[in-house]
Chain A
Amino acid sequence: MEIKVLFFGVLTEVTGTCCKHYPASGSYRDLMLRIQDDYPEIVHYNFRVSVNNEIVNSEPVLNDGDEVALLPPFSGG
């Protein structure tokens, strides 16, 4: 019963990791608060969130096994 959270770009430095597993219990907001508790500096960075490769614009319902990614502004090219 876990959610896999991925960090990209500058957030890999802020968190010191590229991924972390969190319990699947609780809401999307709960998950974001847990991440902020673990990495307080993250509040200073701008990022979007995707769930299972789809960017979300509202608070999604999370399910066991979901992959949540924190995506700083893209800068490819």
Chain B
Amino acid sequence: MANNYLIKGPVTQELINLVLSSMSEKTDSGGHSAFFGQVRADEANGKRVKAIEYSAYEEMVKPEADKICKSVLSEFSDVRSVEIVHSTGIVKTGEISLFVLVSAGHRLQAMQACSKTVELVKERFPVWKKEIMEDGSHEWR
């Protein structure tokens, strides 16, 4: 990973497994909630998306992600940890571009805080997507 939050290419099964395997060490947590953002094969004007190319202001991602984690930990007192992994570069349809895992003492705050984290990532992560169409054209979103 370029830093703790960005990965070049899709979020792989191996990386997800690595993060999930760390759950067993969090013995103070009773619930984990995960979100997987997947590249969707949208269609517009007869063109279908085949991949998304993500670009990021990498120097700004870490401070913003740190703020998100701090904000979520502050708002949800039962939350023990927040993990965020976002892709840069090309991610094909069906592949994962965002992975969020929140661990908490109990399920309710794990789920609420996971949802909140995803919303904050969408709102604050300095990342841009360029949809690559099957015909080779592209569209900034």
A residues touching B (Cβ–Cβ < 8 Å)?
6, 8-10, 12-13, 50, 53, 67, 69, 71-72, 74-77
Contacts and interface: CB of A to CB of B under 8 A. Distances in A.
B49 interface: no
B57 A76 contact: no
B63 A76 contact: no
Nearest to B52: A75
Interface in B15-54: 37, 54
13 contacts: A6-B57, A8-B55, A50-B60, A53-B57, A53-B59, A53-B63, A74-B122, A75-B127, A76-B56, A76-B125, A77-B86, A77-B97, A77-B125
A57 to B, nearest CB: 15
Residue of B86, B98, B130 with most chain A CB atoms under a 10 A cut-off:
B130
Interface residues of B, number: 24
A23 B1 CA distance: 35
B127 A76 contact: yes
A14 to B, nearest CB: 10
B89 interface: no
Nearest to B54: A76
A53 B125 CA distance: 12
A69 B98 CA distance: 24
A12 B60 CA distance: 17
